[in-house]
A and B are shown apart, each in its own frame.
Chain A
Amino acid sequence: MLDVIGAESLDALVAVPEAVALRGPVSVAPALAESEIAAAFERFAARTPGSTYTSFLGAGAYRHYTPPIVGALAMRGEFLTAYTPYQAEVSQGYLQAIYEWQTYIALLTGLDVANASVYDGATALAEGAIMAVNATGRKALLVSAAVHPNYRRVLRTYAEGLDLDVDEIRYAPDGTTDFANIEARLADQRYAAVIVQSPNFFGAVDAPAADVGSAMRATGTLVIGVVAEAMSLAALTPPGEWGADIAVGEAQSFGVAIAYGGPHVGFIATTASHLRRIPGRLVGRTVDKHGNPAYTLTLQAREQHIRREKATSNICTNQAHCALCATIYLAAMGATGLRDCAGHNLARTRELQARVYAVPGVAARFAAPVFNEFVVAVPGRAADVLARLRGSHILGGVDLGAFYPELADCILMTATELTTSAEIDALGIALAESIEHAATRV
């Protein structure tokens, strides 16, 4: 091969100018044979016991049953090792699957169109906010304090880049967004969008009432509906029906592994009027030159490879394979399976609520109806209670004090269809012990 190239040696072929030659020493993980790699990762796994604990964690990443057919199909090499379907003629299968994903997301959110995915729920929110800024020409955003704190942090990080102001609406005593004086706040027409999450970070169903929606529309403010738990879409009124112009969210619940936070899969859906502001890939159905139905990437004049600095977003690589997993999951579960799943989430959560509220000293923090998570107030610091629960191999939930200093005595607890009565009972017992223990020490 070197002869064909006319190079003296491999080293000569790859040489770089002396001024930028490698200045060692380099230290990377050592080379191992495959069997040794497997053993090394088994050791990492053994140092990661958190995944074997009984868990009531949710807060944006949910444990749901995934039928094995999802992995069996998604891990086929044709799906796993394809790239962006630039060459439509040899990518019809993936393109059709993404078209089906776009359809599922549009149907689930109750909106007209959805894109081929973005990185995750938080970046979906940031991208949706940029859409609203571009649509309205306004440079400020009003976000509910009951939107996932991580999502809000990402929104603020992106906003720093575009010099956008981000203001917050506080939450009401019942755990929903306090829309009490929303008309006054929107009156000066500063805000591109109001951002609400439902179910919100506290688990509460938080779709704004119809009159709140009209106040927003009257001031030309767009409404962005955030969905961090996509399973809720199987039961709750979807954002498109409660008045959101843009729905953004996270679809990890649809058959995508939790995997310590990623890869998950973000979605963006909107009304037909905002179609050309959507970021990222879109798959369209058209025909080939023989007039047969065919799929292709379309409306690419929005995208970075054509528009460069004038693109609607910089996104290129997205989360297509996770979107594929979700599509297979949705196809396999069907409406019946999803409704059952949502029903179990609602039922299990009520069982969990009843059990923990029965523990002396524990109380509901908010009264608003919830989907599959809720906030409990405990005596003392939530962090201490949770630490003691770990002694019983239980991850009791998320310490809200980490995000809301005023809720340092509160735990966000989640139950899904996988939560068993035995687990709920074990939590109840351990919680009671943990609280007694604290009381006797005082």
Chain B
Amino acid sequence: MQQLAFDTPLIFDLGQRGRANKYLPSAPPPDEFLPADMLRADLPLPDNTELDVNRHFTRLSQKTFAIDLGFYPLGSCTMKYNPRINDAMANLPALRNLHPFAPDELAQGALAIMWELERSLASLFGMAAFSLNPAAGAHAELTALLIAKAYFKKIGAAATRRTVIVPDTAHGTNPASAAMVGYRVVSLKSDSRGRVSVDEIKAAIGPDTAVCMMTNPNTLGLFEDHIKEIADAVHAAGGLMYYDGANANALMGNARPGDMGFDLMHLNLHKTFSIPHGGGGAGAGPVGVAEHLVPFLPTPVVRCNESAGAGGWEPSEGKTFGLDFDRPDAIGSMRSFWSNFAHMVRALAYVYANGFAGLTMVSKLAVLNANYIRASINDIIDTPYDENCRHEFVASAQALKRETGVRALDIGKALLDRGYHAPTVYFPLLVPECLMIEPTETESKETLDAFIADFRAIIATARIAPEAIMEAPVNTVVGRIDETRAARHPDLRWHPPTAAAAG
């Protein structure tokens, strides 16, 4: 499977003066309106014909792997198909062109979309309310921890509640978010079953515990079956339970964080709710809270004037909505404007496409597909926690590496040659030579079978001709990258020729 290898010089090396496109009529120069000392001397950007721009970016697109091109089993990232109806709805001119300062009475449809989504999420995950403010998962974690801090301040416990408990399987954003709220991070070791040990967590909990951050299923793809006991213990100590919902695709409709005893949670809508986030964003990370934390949600909150909204989704027709900024206990705001609204449109379109039964089936099939791959390769590669997994599982290439020198990284690269994206590698950190595989529910059995066959072929080759795997990828437009050079001699931008010549 050969990737197209067009030459793509930088856009800055293509352009020339005199090749401008006529998008706008000619305008008087800025110095007719402002004094010269307020104006820049030059604008060293290229002019390119539209054809050159078109060909440049079309060629770049052909050097970019995507869900639309092939199977993308990148664990923890839930790279499912992104239905195009979602984008079409987000691009309806009335929604796409709406200004955030348009008055509420002229934005009722947009507010209704946010409210219907918020109510659906609250019911589906068992929380009292969601804020649609945060722009991504990490942003949501920060939001939630600020809510926790405001809550402890309100009850007079901010000075003592200084630590956040984070299992070693947690995503890097969890401890990084805790640090941004000034919390000390207490890291918990997983037990031999790949779970948080109840004894260990009980030993870690104390009067200083602010929040315990858990991912369930965790990043090993395993359900934390003692979650209720853990939540009870944290609550007994006066702490709050936080649910990292990046893995919500594993249990949506089937179990709810609210029922498990979580006080705070986030969703990665861009993963679970089929939102494209090309190149690594934009995402959306709604934060859900239990009743006692609702007053602390960031502003604005979408208010329905005719419904208390306690009972989950209701039709929005006939109701009126407003953005509520007047919330004295709110932590503040997390972003310039109200939400990544275009993604709220996409997410609600996805809820409409599935309904409750459909969303539940999504998570069931995600689990089925993951287990099918696991059970089809666990005879040729170690799967350290070899039990039924949830929506993803981890394999370890440690034994293979010992025998053949072939590492997890090499397997990933060999998969690239065969037209797949690599699994997540070297995360979570506690599994040596880790490969984390998440197929998602949108892939057919045929795709899974083809992947399994290719995966098996790679392992078989590794055993007889390991160099062939360590050479991979060979079918891509470039070979393995010199990362050391990239970091030692950072080249992060193009320089105009004159500036470069000057030094």
In the complex the two chains form, is B120's CB within 8 Å of A260's CB?
no
CB-CB under 8 A for A298 and B486, given A51-B93, A261-B338, A333-B21: yes
Complex: A359 Cα to B75 Cα, angstroms: 62
CB-CB under 8 A for A339 and B30, given A82-B65, A87-B421: yes
In the complex the two chains form, is A258's CB within 8 Å of B62's CB?
no
B206 at the interface (CB under 8 A from A): no
CB-CB under 8 A for A92 and B478, given A29-B120, A29-B355, A51-B93: yes
In the complex the two chains form, is A259's CB within 8 Å of B332's CB?
no
Min CB gap A63→B, angstroms = 7
B304 at the interface (CB under 8 A from A): no
In the complex the two chains form, is B90's CB within 8 Å of A259's CB?
yes
Q: Which residues of A lie under 8 Å from residue B87 when comparing CB positions?
A: 75, 80
Chain B stretch 1-47: residues in CB contact (< 8 A) with chain A: 3, 8, 10-12, 15, 17, 19-21, 23-30, 32-35, 37-40, 43-47
Chain B stretch 445-475: residues in CB contact (< 8 A) with chain A: 445, 473
Among A28, A300, A417, which residue has its beta carbon within 8 angstroms of that of B24?
A417
Closest chain B residue to A402 by CB distance? Answer: B325
A40 at the interface (CB under 8 A from B): yes
A34 at the interface (CB under 8 A from B): yes
In the complex the two chains form, is A284's CB within 8 Å of B491's CB?
yes
In the complex the two chains form, is B142's CB within 8 Å of A304's CB?
no
B48 at the interface (CB under 8 A from A): yes
Chain B stretch 143-168: residues in CB contact (< 8 A) with chain A: 145-146, 149-150
Chain B stretch 68-93: residues in CB contact (< 8 A) with chain A: 68-69, 72, 74, 77, 79, 82, 85, 87-93
Complex: A110 Cα to B312 Cα, angstroms: 50
A48 at the interface (CB under 8 A from B): yes
A236 at the interface (CB under 8 A from B): yes
Complex: A91 Cα to B47 Cα, angstroms: 26
Provide the A116-160 mask, 1 if CB < 8 A to any CB of B, else 0. 110111110000001000000000000000001011011011101
Provide the B158-184 mask, 1 if CB < 8 A to any CB of A, else 0. 000000000000011101111111100
- Nearest first, the 10 closest Cβ-Cβ pairs linking A and B are A261-B337, A31-B355, A343-B27, A157-B332, A27-B312, A320-B279, A50-B106, A77-B68, A47-B109, A84-B280
Complex: A26 Cα to B312 Cα, angstroms: 7
In the complex the two chains form, is A37's CB within 8 Å of B337's CB?
no
- Residue count of chain A within 8 Å CB distance of chain B: 193
Provide the A87-128 mask, 1 if CB < 8 A to any CB of B, else 0. 111111110111110111011101011101101111100000
B196 at the interface (CB under 8 A from A): no
In the complex the two chains form, is B135's CB within 8 Å of A119's CB?
yes
Min CB gap A187→B, angstroms = 28
B286 at the interface (CB under 8 A from A): no
Closest chain A residue to B253 by CB distance? Answer: A26
CB-CB under 8 A for A339 and B255, given A52-B94, A314-B138, A317-B136: no
CB-CB under 8 A for A347 and B175, given A90-B416, A123-B135, A331-B11: no
In the complex the two chains form, is A347's CB within 8 Å of B27's CB?
yes
In the complex the two chains form, is A398's CB within 8 Å of B101's CB?
yes
Chain B stretch 314-352: residues in CB contact (< 8 A) with chain A: 314, 317, 331-343, 345, 348-349, 351-352
Closest chain B residue to A282 by CB distance? Answer: B492
* A–B Cβ pairs within 8 angstroms, 23 of them: A29-B352, A29-B355, A41-B89, A44-B109, A45-B92, A47-B108, A47-B112, A50-B107, A83-B280, A151-B336, A154-B334, A236-B40, A260-B100, A262-B282, A262-B338, A290-B478, A292-B478, A307-B172, A322-B282, A327-B11, A334-B21, A335-B20, A347-B27
In the complex the two chains form, is A91's CB within 8 Å of B313's CB?
no
In the complex the two chains form, is A117's CB within 8 Å of B66's CB?
no
In the complex the two chains form, is B97's CB within 8 Å of A314's CB?
no
In the complex the two chains form, is B74's CB within 8 Å of A161's CB?
no
Min CB gap B299→A, angstroms = 8
In the complex the two chains form, is B69's CB within 8 Å of A77's CB?
yes
Min CB gap A176→B, angstroms = 11
CB-CB under 8 A for A334 and B45, given A92-B63, A307-B176, A321-B282: yes
Q: Which residues of B lie under 8 Å from residue A114 when comparing CB positions?
A: 492-493
CB-CB under 8 A for A38 and B89, given A83-B79, A257-B96: yes
Q: Which residues of B lie under 8 Å from residue A193 when comparing CB positions?
A: none
Q: Which residues of B lie under 8 Å from residue A69 when comparing CB positions?
A: 50, 53-54
Min CB gap A10→B, angstroms = 5
In the complex the two chains form, is A76's CB within 8 Å of B179's CB?
no
Q: Which residues of B lie under 8 Å from residue A424 when comparing CB positions?
A: none
Chain A stretch 363-380: residues in CB contact (< 8 A) with chain B: 369
Closest chain B residue to A119 by CB distance? Answer: B135
Among the stretches B197-205, B233-241, B366-374, B399-407, the one at the interface with A is B366-374
Chain A stretch 5-32: residues in CB contact (< 8 A) with chain B: 5-7, 10-11, 13-14, 16-17, 19-23, 25-32
Q: Which residues of A lie under 8 Å from residue B343 when comparing CB positions?
A: 262-263
Q: Which residues of A lie under 8 Å from residue B424 when comparing CB positions?
A: 86
Complex: A103 Cα to B15 Cα, angstroms: 14
**What secondary structure prevails in chain A residues at the interface with B?**
helix
In the complex the two chains form, is B490's CB within 8 Å of A298's CB?
yes
Complex: A396 Cα to B198 Cα, angstroms: 60
In the complex the two chains form, is A49's CB within 8 Å of B106's CB?
yes
In the complex the two chains form, is B62's CB within 8 Å of A93's CB?
yes
B95 at the interface (CB under 8 A from A): yes
Provide the A270-282 mask, 1 if CB < 8 A to any CB of B, else 0. 0000010000011
CB-CB under 8 A for A63 and B97, given A26-B253, A102-B492: yes
In the complex the two chains form, is A97's CB within 8 Å of B108's CB?
no
In the complex the two chains form, is A83's CB within 8 Å of B182's CB?
no
Provide the A339-350 mask, 1 if CB < 8 A to any CB of B, else 0. 111111011001
In the complex the two chains form, is A4's CB within 8 Å of B278's CB?
no
Q: Which residues of A lie under 8 Å from residue B270 when comparing CB positions?
A: 317
Among A30, A301, A316, which residue has its beta carbon within 8 angstroms of that of B173?
A316
In the complex the two chains form, is B61's CB within 8 Å of A73's CB?
yes
Among B12, B62, B180, B390, which residue has its beta carbon within 8 angstroms of that of A78?
B62
B99 at the interface (CB under 8 A from A): yes
CB-CB under 8 A for A100 and B342, given A93-B63, A317-B136: no
In the complex the two chains form, is A80's CB within 8 Å of B60's CB?
no
Min CB gap A267→B, angstroms = 13
Provide the B473-491 mask, 1 if CB < 8 A to any CB of A, else 0. 1001111111101110111
Complex: A321 Cα to B388 Cα, angstroms: 36
Complex: A25 Cα to B72 Cα, angstroms: 34
Complex: A339 Cα to B34 Cα, angstroms: 14
Q: A309-B178, A331-B56 are in contact. List 4 more A-B contacts (CB 8 A).
A: A5-B372, A257-B97, A260-B341, A308-B176
In the complex the two chains form, is B375's CB within 8 Å of A6's CB?
yes
